[in-house]
Chain A
């Protein structure tokens, strides 16, 4: 990268005289970084369709010339719980996302527009916990899960997921930008308070809701640490926990691991390709960490 900077500096000086050279260098740099960025994904999908005996050969194949679906066949015949993992991931992620879309918008609306005693205190409390690493609550939550015997229950993952407060903050910031006149107009038309929320605030918050739901979805779809602590039996695993387990397993079967991983990554990738605009908008709104 330092080289790029150097190239940039030297070429910029003569940019007017050598526009083509500068452009070529620009595109080469972008092409290389794009390749580096996408390489692991390519490698993942390539290996997932390469039989195990071909994977461990030197030199490795760079193109899927030995492509076959035998890894996937074995994945489904041997890893019987794979679909359970997928279904659990869907249930967990949807429950959490749905909660956040609905209740964070409600709370965000109240914090942005309503006045009530304690509002500042509540909001300050929420803000102050944003920087606390999730690992601080690991032990207490684990104790709660032990005490109420929620081990292996999807609720052990869903309930703490609901308290991910970033959404409230995001929605408040967004709803503050909605002109208060619109609500007033609704009140004059005889809308109830919930009616105003549903008919005016919710539709106008769509961009923020799109960002929030996408990021909540991705974050919890990929979550590993907490689910791996509280989900114990294989049929209650989520996809990342299952895949990590495939790999820590006694399986010598790299093909199996990669096909499982590729399949787990696929929905998010499709999701991203379909909605990339909303993703990128969302990042801009600051909905995502790291």
Chain B
């Protein structure tokens, strides 16, 4: 270290070339190590993000001049097609509110239930819950579409066993979005369970022992010790699931491809339709919609951080 300092000092006294050599000797490896990652990051993330903002203010055309249009794309996003984008936002918010609430709740309950079990049982259940999460959303959606089939589907078969009439799960505009929600809720929130149970496992045992001495029952312990102490994890999981829900696409696209009226349009299916508009003239609107999605996600995340903010560290 001292030698390097000496060299640096010496380099400062000499010419520009030596100063450069000194700089490289000192920081060269740092730059060399981050270079490949930063290069692809810059080319495939940073520049495209900046460019997306630019495109959202242009009437963007491939291989042609793209005139500036100010906020027209943002206006068009909401005013064209009888305001379907606003409906898509409402649908996405509805989907997110229901699925995130249900997922967090279920994850908390299951994580608490498996907490007292021995290590092997815990691992078994976590693995069983996690298994479907390694399967592609497209495949899961293909299965659900089949389960929801009005005539041959498994769910209507279950209903028929208890003497109920078949439900038009994916073809009734009042039900279709709820069916998509149902399929998400019935997919056990594995990531949440794993994260919650890790957080619960790291709460020191003596907290509980102390509470027991004071005569607290299990529910009381859960409410007053477990929940407050995993608040940081809860925040993380909530944000995670919220972002994922806002970006829902595959599921909807595979289960109800042409939409049920517009009742199953989501933000991302709208973006997809704009990118894939045969007139190749909707790229600006698609970008504007993607940026709106980003703003929604960012502001909701900020609110969630504020709301669930915690100082508890353990």
Contact = CB atoms under 8 A, between A and B. Distances in A.
Contacts of B125: 30, 34
Nearest to A222: B136
Contacts of B130: 272, 276, 279-280, 283
Interface stretch (A70-78, A79-87, A158-166): A158-166
Interface stretch (B6-14, B23-31, B81-89): B23-31
B44 A40 contact: no
Contacts of B62: 143, 146-147
A247 B255 CA distance: 10
Interface residues of B, number: 96
A117 B131 CA distance: 44
Contacts of B114: 30
Interface in B289-314: 290-291, 293-294, 297-298, 301
Contacts of A135: 247, 268, 271, 290, 293
B20 interface: no
A269 B136 contact: no
Interface string A43-57: 110010000000111
In terms of DSSP, what is the predominant structure of the interface of chain B? helix
B37 A284 contact: no
B135 A41 contact: yes
A9 B51 CA distance: 54
Interface in A175-222: 193, 197, 218, 221-222
B16 interface: no
Contact of B134 (A57, A136, A138, A268): A268
Contacts of A286: 195, 236
B194 A60 contact: no
A243 B132 contact: no
Nearest to A16: B217
A264 interface: yes
Given A30-B114, A240-B138, A289-B244, A137 B48 contact: yes
Of the candidates A4, A26, A133, A222, the one having the most CB atoms from chain B within 10 angstroms of its own CB is A133
Contact of A12 (B144, B188, B219, B294): B219
Which of A109, A136, A264, A284 gathers the greatest number of chain B CB atoms within 10 Å? A136
A225 interface: yes
B264 interface: no
B134 A272 contact: yes
Contacts of A37: 128-129, 131-132, 187-188, 190
Contact of A257 (B37, B136, B137, B142): B142
Contact of A119 (B30, B49, B198, B236): B30
Interface stretch (B105-113, B170-178, B203-211): B105-113
A135 B8 CA distance: 46
B227 to A, nearest CB: 13
Contacts of A147: 62-63
B40 A159 contact: yes
B55 A131 contact: no
Nearest to A164: B45
Contact of A225 (B135, B191, B218, B272): B272
Nearest to B287: A139
Contacts of A290: 191, 240-241, 243-244
Contacts of A143: 55, 60, 62, 283
Interface of A: 1, 4-5, 8-9, 12-13, 15, 26, 29-30, 33-34, 36-38, 40-41, 43-44, 47, 55-60, 99, 103-104, 106-107, 109-111, 114-117, 119, 122, 125-126, 129, 131-144, 146-147, 159-160, 162-163, 165, 168, 193, 197, 218, 221-222, 224-225, 229, 239-240, 243-244, 247-248, 254, 257-258, 261, 264-265, 268-269, 271-273, 276-277, 279-280, 283-284, 286, 288-290
Interface of B: 26-27, 29-31, 33-34, 36-38, 40-41, 43-49, 51-52, 55, 60, 62-63, 102, 105-106, 109-110, 113-114, 123, 125-132, 134-140, 142-147, 151-152, 154, 157, 160, 186-188, 190-191, 194-195, 198, 217-219, 236, 240-241, 243-244, 246-247, 249-250, 254, 257, 268, 271-272, 275-276, 283, 286-287, 290-291, 293-294, 297-298, 301
16 contacts: A8-B219, A29-B113, A37-B132, A43-B147, A106-B34, A114-B27, A131-B301, A139-B55, A139-B287, A140-B52, A140-B55, A163-B45, A254-B146, A261-B143, A276-B130, A277-B123
